[in-house]
Amino acid sequence: MHPSTLARVKSGEAEGRPSTEEPTFDEQTLLRELEKAINDEDYNRAAKLRDDLRVLHDDSNASVISANARFYHAFRNGDLAEMQSIWAKGDHVYVVHPGASRISGYELVIDSWEIVCGVDHEFPIQIDLKDVEVHVRGDVGYVTCMEVVKTRGGNWGKQTATNVFEKIDEKWFICIHHASHIND
């Protein structure tokens, strides 16, 4: 057998001892390492890197879904303090409430949620999410969905929504919420 066709195993790994290498969690680094392992025909390492990428992807999707759930929890309950804590800080954040123009910057976005949360809706309101999809690319993720919103005093109807999240210091924060009415 030609030496380059043999699978390579790092010292100690074959005996079940863990590698002393630092784990790599960055998606781009994992992809580079995977390509290198394939080129080097280090198929055991390539398989592990492939599995690490899958776990990272699944964990990122779950984390963005969790951040999206925190956003809707704050919205359902009219919880302004929670709403303040889940938004990224900065001028790059914005919100588009149904039928309204874009509101930019953390302070103005939170002011808009203060108005929404302060309206006489008898919180909690009911928000059912339909057709939820999540996509993550590196430190940015987004969720698309349809919101079916009902209050005790009325019905806001259906909105299509896009929520964009960014990862800051290993935590996901919403940076864009855009909701538009859907006419039935």
Residue 13 forms part of a structural domain: no
Domain assignment present for residue 107? The answer is: yes
What value does the mean pLDDT take over residues 87-104?
A: 96
Residue with tokens 């006419």: 183
Chain centre distance of CA 78: 22
Confidence of residue 51 (pLDDT cuts 50, 70, 90): confident
Task: Sort 45 into a burial class: Cβ within 10 Å, 0-12 / 13-18 / 19+.
Answer: buried
pLDDT at residue 48 greater than cutoff 70: yes
Residue 166's DSSP bridge partners are: 140, 173
Nearest to 109 by CA among 76, 140, 75: 75
Which residues form the domain of 74?
Answer: 57-182
Say how many domains are in the chain.
1
Relative to beta strand 140-151, strand 94-96 is: unpaired
Would you say the C-alpha torsion 80, 128, 157, 181 has a positive or negative sign?
Answer: positive
Asked whether the predicted pLDDT for residue 15 surpasses 80, the reply is: no
Q: What is the pLDDT of residue 31?
A: 76
In a domain, 2, yes or no: no
pTM: 0.71
Q: Supply the CATH number for residue 158's domain.
A: 3.10.450.50
Tell me if 12 is assigned to some domain.
Answer: no
Is 157 a member of any domain?
yes
Q: What is the pLDDT of residues 127-168, one digit of tens each?
A: 999 999 999 998 999 999 999 988 776 677 899 999 999 999
The label of the residue with tokens 């930019």 reads 104
